Structure 1
Amino acid sequence: MHLQNPHHDGLIITLFIANHYVRKILVDGGSSMNIIQDDVLKNMNIPETEITPRSFVLVGFSDETKNTPADIKLPIYIEGVNSFQNFCVIDNLSCCNVRHPWIHEMKVVASTYHQCINLPTPWGVVKIESDQEEARNCYTSSMKPAARQTIA
Protein backbone atom coordinates (compact mmCIF):
# COMPACT_ATOMS: atom_id res chain seq x y z
CA MET A 1 0.00 0.00 0.00
CA HIS A 2 1.47 3.35 -1.06
CA LEU A 3 0.91 6.10 1.51
CA GLN A 4 1.04 9.74 0.49
CA ASN A 5 2.27 12.57 2.72
CA PRO A 6 4.02 10.27 5.21
CA HIS A 7 5.50 13.22 7.08
CA HIS A 8 2.15 14.11 8.63
CA ASP A 9 1.58 10.76 10.34
CA GLY A 10 2.09 10.13 14.04
CA LEU A 11 4.86 7.79 15.14
CA ILE A 12 3.31 4.39 15.83
CA ILE A 13 5.73 1.58 16.71
CA THR A 14 5.84 -1.89 18.23
CA LEU A 15 7.93 -2.55 21.36
CA PHE A 16 8.75 -5.45 23.67
CA ILE A 17 7.12 -4.59 27.02
CA ALA A 18 7.08 -7.02 29.94
CA ASN A 19 7.99 -9.96 27.67
CA HIS A 20 5.23 -9.19 25.14
CA TYR A 21 5.27 -7.44 21.79
CA VAL A 22 2.86 -4.52 22.05
CA ARG A 23 1.62 -2.90 18.85
CA LYS A 24 0.11 0.54 18.31
CA ILE A 25 2.42 2.50 20.60
CA LEU A 26 2.19 6.23 20.02
CA VAL A 27 5.53 7.96 20.52
CA ASP A 28 4.33 11.26 21.93
CA GLY A 29 7.02 13.66 23.04
CA GLY A 30 4.33 16.09 24.18
CA SER A 31 2.88 13.75 26.81
CA SER A 32 3.93 14.12 30.40
CA MET A 33 3.11 10.54 31.44
CA ASN A 34 3.42 7.02 30.08
CA ILE A 35 -0.08 5.63 29.59
CA ILE A 36 -1.21 2.04 29.03
CA GLN A 37 -4.70 0.63 28.57
CA ASP A 38 -5.96 -1.81 31.19
CA ASP A 39 -7.06 -4.19 28.39
CA VAL A 40 -3.45 -4.39 27.20
CA LEU A 41 -2.33 -5.41 30.69
CA LYS A 42 -5.06 -8.07 30.79
CA ASN A 43 -3.96 -9.41 27.38
CA MET A 44 -0.39 -9.55 28.70
CA ASN A 45 -1.62 -11.59 31.71
CA ILE A 46 -0.16 -9.06 34.15
CA PRO A 47 -1.50 -9.98 37.61
CA GLU A 48 -3.61 -7.33 39.31
CA THR A 49 -1.26 -7.55 42.30
CA GLU A 50 1.37 -5.83 40.12
CA ILE A 51 -0.92 -2.83 39.59
CA THR A 52 -0.79 -0.12 42.27
CA PRO A 53 -4.05 1.73 42.97
CA ARG A 54 -3.22 5.41 42.53
CA SER A 55 -5.35 8.15 41.07
CA PHE A 56 -4.03 10.75 38.65
CA VAL A 57 -5.96 13.35 36.70
CA LEU A 58 -4.82 13.65 33.12
CA VAL A 59 -5.68 16.75 31.10
CA GLY A 60 -5.93 16.37 27.34
CA PHE A 61 -5.13 18.78 24.54
CA SER A 62 -8.68 20.17 24.50
CA ASP A 63 -8.79 20.44 28.33
CA GLU A 64 -10.81 17.23 28.75
CA THR A 65 -9.90 15.39 31.95
CA LYS A 66 -9.55 11.68 32.62
CA ASN A 67 -8.99 9.96 35.96
CA THR A 68 -6.59 7.04 36.04
CA PRO A 69 -7.30 4.37 38.65
CA ALA A 70 -3.81 2.91 38.97
CA ASP A 71 -0.21 2.75 37.82
CA ILE A 72 2.34 0.03 37.15
CA LYS A 73 6.08 -0.24 36.55
CA LEU A 74 6.96 -2.36 33.49
CA PRO A 75 10.20 -3.30 31.76
CA ILE A 76 10.77 -2.12 28.19
CA TYR A 77 13.31 -3.84 25.97
CA ILE A 78 14.56 -2.15 22.80
CA GLU A 79 17.41 -3.67 20.82
CA GLY A 80 19.49 -4.67 23.85
CA VAL A 81 18.55 -1.69 26.02
CA ASN A 82 16.41 -2.38 29.08
CA SER A 83 14.48 0.28 30.95
CA PHE A 84 11.81 0.21 33.65
CA GLN A 85 9.05 2.76 33.14
CA ASN A 86 6.04 3.82 35.21
CA PHE A 87 2.72 3.76 33.38
CA CYS A 88 -0.65 5.25 34.29
CA VAL A 89 -3.34 2.64 33.70
CA ILE A 90 -6.35 3.97 31.85
CA ASP A 91 -9.54 2.25 30.75
CA ASN A 92 -9.91 3.92 27.36
CA LEU A 93 -7.23 5.45 25.17
CA SER A 94 -8.82 5.60 21.72
CA CYS A 95 -6.89 3.59 19.18
CA CYS A 96 -3.42 3.47 20.73
CA ASN A 97 -2.47 0.79 23.24
CA VAL A 98 0.33 2.79 24.86
CA ARG A 99 1.54 6.37 24.82
CA HIS A 100 5.17 7.03 25.62
CA PRO A 101 7.01 10.18 26.66
CA TRP A 102 9.95 7.96 27.73
CA ILE A 103 11.88 9.05 24.66
CA HIS A 104 13.78 11.80 26.48
CA GLU A 105 14.92 9.52 29.31
CA MET A 106 16.25 6.90 26.89
CA LYS A 107 17.88 9.59 24.68
CA VAL A 108 15.69 8.59 21.75
CA VAL A 109 15.46 10.97 18.82
CA ALA A 110 11.98 10.89 17.31
CA SER A 111 11.38 12.23 13.83
CA THR A 112 7.88 12.51 12.43
CA TYR A 113 9.42 13.75 9.19
CA HIS A 114 11.52 10.60 8.79
CA GLN A 115 8.82 8.41 10.41
CA CYS A 116 11.24 6.70 12.78
CA ILE A 117 12.96 6.87 16.11
CA ASN A 118 16.71 6.50 16.62
CA LEU A 119 17.93 4.97 19.86
CA PRO A 120 21.57 5.12 20.96
CA THR A 121 22.80 1.76 22.29
CA PRO A 122 26.25 0.57 23.40
CA TRP A 123 26.45 -1.12 19.96
CA GLY A 124 25.51 1.92 17.88
CA VAL A 125 22.35 3.76 16.91
CA VAL A 126 19.28 1.61 16.25
CA LYS A 127 16.55 2.88 13.92
CA ILE A 128 12.95 1.80 14.55
CA GLU A 129 10.54 2.56 11.73
CA SER A 130 7.02 3.84 12.33
CA ASP A 131 4.10 1.78 11.05
CA GLN A 132 2.45 4.37 8.79
CA GLU A 133 -0.53 2.22 7.91
CA GLU A 134 -1.25 1.67 11.62
CA ALA A 135 -0.82 5.42 12.23
CA ARG A 136 -3.38 6.21 9.54
CA ASN A 137 -5.78 3.62 10.95
CA CYS A 138 -5.44 5.12 14.44
CA TYR A 139 -5.99 8.63 13.14
CA THR A 140 -9.02 7.60 11.09
CA SER A 141 -10.64 5.69 13.95
CA SER A 142 -10.13 8.59 16.37
CA MET A 143 -11.88 11.12 14.13
CA LYS A 144 -15.49 11.78 15.06
CA PRO A 145 -17.94 12.23 12.21
CA ALA A 146 -18.87 15.85 11.72
CA ALA A 147 -22.39 16.81 12.72
CA ARG A 148 -24.61 17.77 9.81
CA GLN A 149 -25.88 21.29 9.74
CA THR A 150 -29.34 21.90 8.38
CA ILE A 151 -30.27 25.23 6.92
CA ALA A 152 -33.88 26.22 7.44
Structure 2
Amino acid sequence: MDIPIMFEESDVVEGHHDGLVISLPVGNCMIKKILVDNGSSANIIMLDTLKHMNIDEKNIINNSTILVGFSGETKKTSGEITLANFAKGINLQVKFLMINKLSSNNMILGRPWIHEMKSITSTYHQVIKFPTRWGIQEIRRDPKEAKNVTRSPLKQLQ
Protein backbone atom coordinates (compact mmCIF):
# COMPACT_ATOMS: atom_id res chain seq x y z
CA MET A 1 0.00 0.00 0.00
CA ASP A 2 1.40 3.40 -1.00
CA ILE A 3 0.78 6.14 1.50
CA PRO A 4 1.66 9.64 0.33
CA ILE A 5 4.17 11.60 2.40
CA MET A 6 2.99 15.15 2.78
CA PHE A 7 4.13 18.22 4.64
CA GLU A 8 1.57 20.59 6.09
CA GLU A 9 1.90 24.32 6.54
CA SER A 10 1.51 23.65 10.27
CA ASP A 11 4.82 21.70 10.06
CA VAL A 12 6.75 24.85 9.10
CA VAL A 13 9.37 26.08 11.54
CA GLU A 14 9.37 29.84 11.01
CA GLY A 15 12.40 32.07 10.84
CA HIS A 16 15.29 29.66 10.63
CA HIS A 17 18.06 28.80 8.21
CA ASP A 18 19.24 25.74 10.12
CA GLY A 19 20.39 22.42 8.79
CA LEU A 20 18.34 19.43 9.88
CA VAL A 21 19.89 18.21 13.14
CA ILE A 22 18.38 15.24 14.95
CA SER A 23 19.11 12.76 17.75
CA LEU A 24 18.89 8.98 17.23
CA PRO A 25 19.92 5.74 18.93
CA VAL A 26 23.07 4.45 17.21
CA GLY A 27 24.97 1.48 18.58
CA ASN A 28 24.39 1.51 22.34
CA CYS A 29 24.10 5.30 22.62
CA MET A 30 21.65 8.11 22.00
CA ILE A 31 23.63 10.30 19.61
CA LYS A 32 22.87 13.99 19.53
CA LYS A 33 23.82 16.54 16.88
CA ILE A 34 23.37 14.31 13.83
CA LEU A 35 23.22 16.36 10.63
CA VAL A 36 20.91 14.91 7.98
CA ASP A 37 22.50 16.00 4.71
CA ASN A 38 21.05 14.98 1.36
CA GLY A 39 24.14 16.57 -0.23
CA SER A 40 26.44 13.98 1.34
CA SER A 41 27.21 10.80 -0.58
CA ALA A 42 28.36 9.05 2.62
CA ASN A 43 27.34 8.49 6.22
CA ILE A 44 30.08 9.93 8.41
CA ILE A 45 30.97 9.54 12.07
CA MET A 46 33.57 11.62 13.84
CA LEU A 47 36.30 9.53 15.47
CA ASP A 48 35.85 11.40 18.76
CA THR A 49 32.17 10.40 18.82
CA LEU A 50 33.09 6.78 18.22
CA LYS A 51 35.59 6.88 21.08
CA HIS A 52 32.89 8.23 23.44
CA MET A 53 30.63 5.34 22.42
CA ASN A 54 33.15 2.78 23.78
CA ILE A 55 32.97 0.74 20.57
CA ASP A 56 35.41 -2.17 20.43
CA GLU A 57 38.16 -1.26 17.95
CA LYS A 58 38.00 -4.75 16.41
CA ASN A 59 34.74 -3.62 14.78
CA ILE A 60 36.58 -0.91 12.83
CA ILE A 61 37.64 -1.81 9.30
CA ASN A 62 40.91 -0.15 8.36
CA ASN A 63 39.81 0.98 4.93
CA SER A 64 40.72 4.52 3.94
CA THR A 65 38.70 6.52 1.41
CA ILE A 66 39.18 9.99 -0.01
CA LEU A 67 36.13 12.22 0.34
CA VAL A 68 35.78 15.31 -1.83
CA GLY A 69 33.95 18.30 -0.40
CA PHE A 70 31.79 20.95 -2.01
CA SER A 71 34.69 23.23 -2.90
CA GLY A 72 36.99 20.39 -4.00
CA GLU A 73 38.88 19.96 -0.74
CA THR A 74 39.74 16.38 0.10
CA LYS A 75 39.64 14.51 3.39
CA LYS A 76 41.02 11.04 4.02
CA THR A 77 38.88 8.79 6.20
CA SER A 78 40.48 6.74 8.96
CA GLY A 79 38.33 3.62 8.51
CA GLU A 80 34.76 2.45 8.44
CA ILE A 81 32.36 0.82 10.84
CA THR A 82 28.86 -0.61 10.66
CA LEU A 83 26.58 0.34 13.55
CA ALA A 84 22.99 -0.50 14.42
CA ASN A 85 20.61 2.42 13.98
CA PHE A 86 17.04 2.55 15.26
CA ALA A 87 14.60 5.13 13.86
CA LYS A 88 10.93 4.94 14.86
CA GLY A 89 10.56 1.19 14.35
CA ILE A 90 13.11 0.82 11.55
CA ASN A 91 16.29 -1.08 12.43
CA LEU A 92 19.20 -0.64 10.04
CA GLN A 93 22.83 -1.65 9.95
CA VAL A 94 24.48 1.57 8.77
CA LYS A 95 28.00 1.84 7.33
CA PHE A 96 29.82 4.96 8.51
CA LEU A 97 33.10 6.37 7.25
CA MET A 98 35.23 7.67 10.13
CA ILE A 99 36.82 11.09 10.04
CA ASN A 100 39.34 12.31 12.59
CA LYS A 101 38.46 15.98 12.80
CA LEU A 102 36.62 18.35 15.08
CA SER A 103 33.08 19.13 14.01
CA SER A 104 30.04 20.76 15.53
CA ASN A 105 28.13 17.59 14.53
CA ASN A 106 28.79 14.06 15.77
CA MET A 107 27.56 12.31 12.64
CA ILE A 108 26.31 13.03 9.17
CA LEU A 109 23.56 10.87 7.76
CA GLY A 110 23.82 11.22 4.00
CA ARG A 111 22.03 9.85 0.97
CA PRO A 112 22.86 6.17 1.74
CA TRP A 113 20.86 6.39 4.99
CA ILE A 114 18.17 8.68 3.54
CA HIS A 115 17.59 6.28 0.63
CA GLU A 116 17.67 3.16 2.80
CA MET A 117 15.01 4.73 5.02
CA LYS A 118 13.02 5.74 1.91
CA SER A 119 12.70 9.05 3.67
CA ILE A 120 11.82 12.53 2.54
CA THR A 121 13.75 15.25 4.34
CA SER A 122 12.72 18.88 4.60
CA THR A 123 15.04 21.45 6.09
CA TYR A 124 12.24 24.01 5.65
CA HIS A 125 9.90 21.95 7.82
CA GLN A 126 12.80 20.59 9.94
CA VAL A 127 11.49 17.03 9.74
CA ILE A 128 12.18 13.66 8.13
CA LYS A 129 9.18 11.55 7.10
CA PHE A 130 9.35 7.91 6.03
CA PRO A 131 7.05 4.95 5.46
CA THR A 132 6.83 2.05 7.90
CA ARG A 133 4.41 -0.84 8.28
CA TRP A 134 2.73 1.31 10.96
CA GLY A 135 2.20 4.22 8.59
CA ILE A 136 4.22 7.37 8.00
CA GLN A 137 6.64 8.11 10.83
CA GLU A 138 8.60 11.29 11.39
CA ILE A 139 11.69 12.48 13.16
CA ARG A 140 11.65 16.15 14.06
CA ARG A 141 14.62 18.40 14.53
CA ASP A 142 16.35 18.62 17.86
CA PRO A 143 16.37 22.43 18.21
CA LYS A 144 18.27 22.51 21.50
CA GLU A 145 21.08 20.33 20.14
CA ALA A 146 21.15 22.13 16.80
CA LYS A 147 22.02 25.34 18.64
CA ASN A 148 24.12 23.80 21.40
CA VAL A 149 27.54 22.59 20.29
CA THR A 150 29.22 22.58 23.70
CA ARG A 151 27.30 19.83 25.52
CA SER A 152 28.27 16.19 25.68
CA PRO A 153 27.74 14.53 22.29
CA LEU A 154 25.98 11.42 23.53
CA LYS A 155 24.34 9.66 26.40
CA GLN A 156 24.86 5.97 27.14
CA LEU A 157 21.67 3.93 26.80
CA GLN A 158 20.84 1.84 29.83
Q: TM-score, normalised by structure 2?
A: 0.80
Corresponding residue to 1:114 among 125, 145, 148: 125
Give the match for residue 145 of structure 1: none
Query: Using the alignment, how far apart are the partners of 2:91 and 2:127 within structure 1?
Result: 19
SS at match of 2:38: coil
Q: CA deviation at 1:70?
A: 0.4
> Is the 8 Å Cα contact of residues 82 and 95 (structure 2) preserved in structure 1?
yes
Cα RMSD, aligned residues only: 1.6
Aligned length: 135
The CA deviation string for residues 40-66 of structure 1, in whole angstroms up to 9 with x for no partner, is 111111011000001100111121111
Query: How far apart in 2 are the matches of 1:87 and 1:93?
Result: 16
5+ residue gaps, structure 1, are 139-152
TM-score scaled by structure 1? 0.83
Contact 1:11 1:132 in 2 (8 A): no
CA–CA separation in structure 2 for the residues paired with 1:31 and 1:66? 13
Query: Relative CO higher for 1 or 2, CA cutoff 8 Å, sep ≥ 6?
Result: 2
CA distance in 2, matches of 1:29, 1:97: 16
| Percent of pairs with identical residues | 49
User: Residue 134 of structure 1: CA displacement?
Assistant: 3.2
CA contact (8 A) 1:9 1:132 kept: no
The Cα offsets for residues 85-143 of structure 1, whole Å up to 9 and x where unpaired, read as 110011115211000111112111101111111121111111211123433456xxxxx
Structure 1 counterpart of 2:86, one-letter code: Y
- Which structure would you say has the larger Rg? 1
Report if the CA contact (8 A) 2:68-2:75 is conserved.
yes
* CA distance in structure 2 between the partners assigned to 1:93 and 1:104 by the alignment: 27
Look up the SS of the partner of 1:30 in the other structure. Answer: coil
CA distance in 2, matches of 1:71, 1:17: 15
User: Aligned match of 2:22 in 2, 6, 13?
Assistant: 13
